[in-house]
Every structure is written in structure tokens, then in C-alpha cells.
Amino acid sequence: MSAQKIWLYRRRGGDEPPSWIGELTFGPVTYDHNGRSGLILPFEYDPADGTDQDRWLRLDVDIASQRTPPRRFGTPRVEWRGMRPPSPATPGPIEVQWVLLPEDIERIELDHGIGSAPGAPWTFRVTVEGLSSGPNGVVASMGDGTLTIAASDWETLVHQMGYGLGPTARSVLTQVSLDHASWREAEKRLTKARDRLRAGEGRAALRECLQQFEALAGKSYRVETWRRRWQMPEQKETGLAEALSGHCTYLNKVGYHLDAEVDTTVGERLEMPLDQWEAELAVAASHHYLAYVLRLNAVATAPSKPTT
């Protein structure tokens, strides 16, 4: 996370040009360890000469996307270091608690995925609006800047917040299914796949999914691999074996293998085309199939109840 600044300006009204009152320098964004949901965004405030007698009456922070129109994310709250406004506008730290719910993180990740290159940093437009009083009266101030978070840092923060599968993906299932151990275990096993998806690396995400099926069934893209594993009617077994092997074949041919034919324009075999939307669907489908397999395995290995 690089050091960035927001220059605050105030306007007293009329045709008078805005005047600079100070600058806010971003500190490193960290996870909020105080039991609150979200992140901590620290600033270091450096007032302009002659404004050190001012006192903040209000200071509001807004965090949004860089797109037009902007999409606002979460609820930023200014922490006043144990005091309430009016607070002295003196040099020192100002801490912003950025409250983020799972639906906020999902919206951030969806917004970032649109047209972003793999491994691209996460950027946000941060707008600050203040109201202060001092020898020159009550004045309004405003400034904005860009907060940039490296992809690896964002991945770490997301894990610290305990974010896994987005609420939208969960909405198609009942709470009974979501609470089942097989669903939670599948979510855990696909953590790396979601990390690669978050980084814009769709093919790598598919390879991670395939590895989880291979860990359970070896050559999972073969129909025979899934036969005679569970007790069920033959017709159901055939449908399930073909569904699982078909899904794993897609993961294998798109996520792992190159084109079977050499492209004459470049003289080499090319990767299969895969956009972010397709990769998200494949990872989501993998979660459902993996949970299904884990649940069937658990039933098959469960001790039988004694007969009376």
C-alpha cells in the first residue's frame, strides 16, 4: 500500500478561490481487531500554517469505486481518539473505521472484476468533507484522493475479515444446506480457487478446483472414476458420474490444457479463452459439486446404526 495524500481546501463563499487548509496522508490499511466488522484506514493530518487553532465540528469520509457513476462501499466512521467534536484540527492521526459487511465486499469484488487485469491493485476514490470553526469563522472543506491497495494485501485483508463465498452465491440454498459440514468443508477447500479468481486468474482458479476433485477421486474427468463409489440406483449413478466427470473435463480442458492445434499465426498452442464471468460460474459450480461429493462420502463412511 503506497503513501497517498488528500489535499483539503475550503471555500468561504462568493468568488473567492478555495484556500488550502491541510493534507491527509494515508497510512497502511489494516484489519479491525476490535471485534468490529471491517478495516481501519488511518490518516495523518498536517494542517496549513495559520489553521492550527481551528476545531473540527464534523468530518465525513466516503469510499467509492473509481467508475462513473461511483458505487459507494461500506460505512466509514471517523474515530475521534476518545473525544467528540469539536476536536482540535491539530497535527496528528485521524482514524477511520471502514465497516464492511459481506455484501459490501462482494460488491467491491464484482466492481473490481470488470475489466481489471490479473493482479491489478484495488483502487478506491476517498472523499473527505469537513466543517471547522476558528478565528476565520465556520468554513466547509473538501478533498478527494485515490486509495490503492496491492492485490496481495487485499487478499490478506479479505481472509482476516473471514470473507469466503459471497451472499449472492449463498442465496440459492437453504440455511440447512449452508450449515452442513460438507458445504463448509467445500468452501474451505476452494479458498485458493477464490483467491485466484479474486486476482483475475481464471484458468488458475479452474486448476485449483480440479485439484480438489482429483484429491478425492484421482482422474476425476473419467466417468469410470465416479462409478461404484456410493450405494444408489444405477440410473442415478450414471447421471451423477456423467455430471461430475463432465464438469471436471471442463475444468481440465479449459483450465489446464492448451489448444490441441497449433495456432499458425504465432506458431504455438494457445490457452483456451476464459473471461471472468465464465470463471466465476465454474468456481461456483465446483463448490456445489464438491459439497455433494463430500456429503456422499460422509454418508458412505458413516458407521451403520446397530439393529435391535
Could you tell me the pTM of the whole model? Answer: 0.67
- Residue found under cell 475489466: 115
Distance (Å, whole) CA 59 – CA 220: 57
Each domain of the chain, given as residue ranges in start order, spans 5-159, 165-301
Report which of residues 244 and 51 the model is more confident about: 244
Predicted confidence at residue 162, as pLDDT, reads 84
With CA atoms as reference, report the closest residue to 284 among 162, 175, 117, 171.
Answer: 171
E strands within 12-74? 19-26, 30-31, 38-47, 55-64
Residue pair 306/216 in contact by the 8 Å Cβ criterion = no
The secondary structure element, H or E, covering residue 182 is: helix 181-189
With CA atoms as reference, report the closest residue to 97 among 82, 75, 81.
Answer: 75
Counting residues of the chain whose pLDDT is more than 90, the rounded percentage is 42
Predicted confidence at residue 1, as pLDDT, reads 44
What CATH code is assigned to 5-159?
2.60.40
Distance (Å, whole) CA 121 – CA 249: 32
Q: What is the mean pLDDT of residues 111-120?
A: 74
Predicted confidence at residue 188, as pLDDT, reads 92
Copy the grid coordinates of residue 206. Answer: 479452474
Q: What is the mean pLDDT of residues 183-192?
A: 92
CB atoms under 10 Å from CB of 132, counted, come to 27
Q: How confident is the model at residue 117 (pLDDT cuts 50, 70, 90)?
A: confident
Residue pair 216/301 in contact by the 8 Å Cβ criterion = no
Integer angstrom CA distances of residue 117 from 121, 256, 275: 9, 20, 11
